[in-house]
Amino acid sequence: RLSTPIQDRPAPPIPQIEEEDIYIALYDYVARTNKDLTFKKGDTMVILKKGQNWSIAQLLEPNPLYSVTEGSIPTNYVKKQSSVVSQPSWMFDTADRSEAVSLLMQPCNNHGDFLARRRTTNPNEYALSVRNGATVNHIKIEKMGGQGYSIDHHTMFATLNDLVGYYQENMLANDIRLRSPCKQVVMESPQTAGLSHDLADEWEIDRKSIELKEKLGKGNFGEVYKGLWNGTTRVAVKKMIKSDLLDKEEFLKEAKIMKKLHHPKLVQLYAVCTHSEPFYIVTELMCNGSLREYLREKGKDLNEDTLIEMAIQVATGMVYLEVNDYIHRDLAARNILVGKNNICKIADFGLARVTQGNDIYQAKVGAEFPIRWTAPEAATMQQFTIKSDVWSFGILLTEIIGNGRVPYAGFQTFEVLEQVERGYRMEKLEKCSEQLYDIMMACWHKDPNQRPSFESLVMQLETCDSAAFLE
Ligand SMILES: Nc1ncnc2c1ncn2[C@@H]1O[C@H](COP(=O)(O)OP(=O)(O)OP(=O)(O)O)[C@@H](O)[C@H]1O
Ligand SMILES: [Mg+2]
């Protein structure tokens, strides 16, 4: 332990700095505790101690506005300067498909403006995203063995640079020429692993460090409030219902796993308060609330491509759970939360497990009864698997395309399971394309093993919108 707080000690002299050791901030960060460093996008620093989630850094050109020049930073907010500088301005290495769309749709970008990004489903492959009027087209770049890159399987390029150069002169299949690289607009800063360096491993926090603000809503496990942590950081707080159904051991075990899951399409768990009841679950705050309400209010203003894009984001988050052998158990539009630019993240994964099996179904009444989202084998035999999540995802697709409509509208809850077991499936909504309906029906295959994986769902959905990959 240090006797003097970091900010009161003189900064140690920086020994000779190798070019290689300089890091650059990709996003702004505002200190949340007195051991954190405040910095702005573009600030340079050296890393004194590198950690997976949090590192200790020293600013190279301290900004007179910040009193602290050395402290902890989220590791994912910085990158080696050399790797950033050497990249062409159209390379948006870390952007995913939905980010590419929101970046290119910003008013500062025009028809033909583009970026290249890694594909989420296969990080060894790249795609081009190109603004095409009021939409964005995505074009797969094939790696042709040792021969380089190609879009059309005929014209080969040794490097991505050559490929981009060529299509700035020649038309792509959609009759567009690449114009200017997507203008760097501020991307939403990524989530940190936990609230701060000190809590990264030990994430039980003092209840008193959280100030509860207005109530955001109420669900099957408790009430959700806006909160302020340490007077600095906006969070969401779920106050768990005090209930005999809540198995404390199970809850703690589950929360430990949830804390380890990090993905841009999962709502990040920050901390818990479990020393006394009611338990608190502290997570990132999502400014536009639940997808269900969002669809009910704004659904009719969103075009089909945007809706598909949102479904892809959910499926992408589910791929992460799938490959990590984790099951959600309560996948539904109410448990997808929406941020800026139609960003969707999955919430409440694993929570359904901590209330004992059967009871969650009996505890819920009316239209919200999750039986409408639950695969028959899970409802009747508690066989929850990633394939029962796939079933729920199919139901979620009907919510997305139906602007937040209740699944099996017109059926009583008790009738749903009975009908489904007899082979009944929800009919195709008018707005829904045949292709999308086929995907839903595949999710609702009676045999769980015949249902698609989330990975294949992402690929199928990617070919669904009008911005589909052009071959
Ligand atoms: N992290 C968050 N950021 C912003 N709003 C949230 C957050 N978590 C929950 N909410 C809001 O609080 C409401 C209640 O959430 P809660 O998870 O308790 O219930 P639910 O999702 O309706 O049902 P379930 O019990 O199946 O999760 C949500 O509908 C949403 O509007
Ligand atoms: Mg929820």
Q: Topology of 291-461 in CATH? A: Transferase(Phosphotransferase); domain 1 (1.10.510)
Is 300 annotated for ligand binding? no
Q: What is the 245 CA–ligand 2 centroid distance (Å)? A: 17
Q: What is the 140 CA–ligand 1 centroid distance (Å)? A: 36
Q: Locate 62 and state its tokens.
A: 């301290």
The residues, ordered by sequence, that sit 6+ positions from 336 with a Cβ below 8 Å of its Cβ are 290, 291, 292, 314, 344, 345, 346, 347, 396
Ligand 1 binding pocket includes 237 (Cβ within 6 Å): no
Q: In one letter, which amino acid is 101?
A: V
Ligand nearest to the CA of 337: 1
Ligand nearest to the CA of 218: 1
Q: What is the 330 CA–ligand 2 centroid distance (Å)? A: 8
The span from the CA of 288 to the CA of 302, in Å, is 15
Q: Locate 210 and state its tokens.
A: 């959280």
Q: Quick one: pLDDT at residue 399?
A: 97
Q: Quick one: pLDDT at residue 152?
A: 86
Please name the residue whose Cα sits nearest to atom 17 of ligand 1. Answer: 219
Residue among 290, 328, 336 whose CB has most ligand 1 atoms within 8 A, to mutate? 290
Q: What are phi and psi of 64, to 5 degrees?
A: -60, -15
Q: Which atom of ligand 1 is nearest to the CA of 330?
A: 26
State pTM to two decimals: 0.81
Q: ∠319-320-322 over CA atoms, to 5°?
A: 60
Ligand nearest to the CA of 283: 1
Q: What is the 347 CA–ligand 2 centroid distance (Å)? A: 6
Residue among 218, 224, 373 whose CB has most ligand 1 atoms within 8 A, to mutate? 224
Ligand nearest to the CA of 216: 1
Q: What is the 101 CA–ligand 2 centroid distance (Å)? A: 27
| Strands laid side by side in the 126-132 sheet | 114-118, 126-132, 135-143, 149-150, 156-157
Residue 452 CA: distances (Å) to CA of 379, 394, 460: 20, 11, 10
Q: Quick one: pLDDT at residue 413?
A: 84
Please name the residue whose Cα sits nearest to atom 1 of ligand 1. Answer: 285
Ligand 1 binding pocket includes 70 (Cβ within 6 Å): no
Ligand 1 binding pocket includes 334 (Cβ within 6 Å): yes
Ligand 1 binding pocket includes 241 (Cβ within 6 Å): no
Ligand 1 binding pocket includes 329 (Cβ within 6 Å): no
For 88-175, the fitting CATH number among 3.40.50.1580, 1.10.645.10, 3.30.505.10, 1.20.58.340 is 3.30.505.10
Q: Locate 430 and state its tokens.
A: 């008018």
Q: Which residue has the tokens 């996008």?
A: 41
pLDDT in tens, 198-216: 765 668 889 999 999 999 9
The residues, ordered by sequence, that sit 6+ positions from 403 with a Cβ below 8 Å of its Cβ are 295, 296, 299, 300
- Side-chain-facing half-sphere of 378: CA atoms under 13 Å: 26
Q: Where are the domains of the chain?
A: 19-84, 88-175, 207-283, 291-461
CB 76 within 8 A of CB 194: no
User: Is 330 a catalytic site residue?
Assistant: yes
Q: What are phi and psi of 226, to 5 degrees?
A: -75, 145
Q: Quick one: pLDDT at residue 331?
A: 96
CATH class of 19-84: mainly beta
Residue 100 CA: distances (Å) to CA of 72, 122, 244, 400: 30, 16, 46, 21
Ligand 1 binding pocket includes 289 (Cβ within 6 Å): yes
Q: Quick one: pLDDT at residue 7?
A: 61
Of the candidates 288, 281, 205, the residue with the CA atom closest to the CA atom of residue 246: 281
Q: What is the 75 CA–ligand 1 centroid distance (Å)? A: 29
For 207-283, the fitting CATH number among 1.20.1420.30, 3.30.200.20, 3.40.190.290, 3.30.1600.10 is 3.30.200.20
Please name the residue whose Cα sits nearest to atom 13 of ligand 1. Answer: 217
Ligand 1 binding pocket includes 350 (Cβ within 6 Å): no
Helix (H) or strand (E) run with residue 201 in it? none
pLDDT tens, per residue, the chain with 471 residues: 455 565 666 665 555 677 778 899 988 998 988 889 999 988 999 999 998 889 999 998 877 777 788 999 999 999 988 877 778 889 988 788 888 988 898 888 999 999 999 887 777 789 999 999 888 999 989 888 777 899 888 889 999 999 999 999 998 877 889 999 998 766 677 888 878 877 656 688 899 999 999 999 998 778 999 999 989 899 999 998 776 666 777 777 778 888 888 899 999 988 999 888 889 999 999 999 999 999 999 998 988 888 999 999 999 999 999 999 999 999 999 999 999 889 999 999 887 776 544 444 443 444 345 899 999 999 888 888 999 999 999 999 999 999 999 999 999 888 999 999 999 999 999 889 999 999 999 999 999 999 999 999 999 998 886 555 543
Q: In one letter, which amino acid is 76?
A: N
Please name the residue whose Cα sits nearest to atom 22 of ligand 1. Answer: 219
Burial (0-12, 13-18, 19+ Cβ within 10 Å), 57: buried
* 398-403-408-414 Cα dihedral, nearest 10 degrees: 110
DSSP 130-179: EEETTEEEEEEEEE-GGG-EESSSSSEESSHHHHHHHHHHS--TTS----
| Helix 386-401 and helix 454-462, axial crossing angle in degrees, nearest 10 | 30
Q: Say which of 36, 330, 389, 465 is annotated catalytic.
A: 330
Ligand 1 binding pocket includes 236 (Cβ within 6 Å): yes
Domains 19-84 and 291-461 share a fold: no
Q: Quick one: pLDDT at residue 465?
A: 66
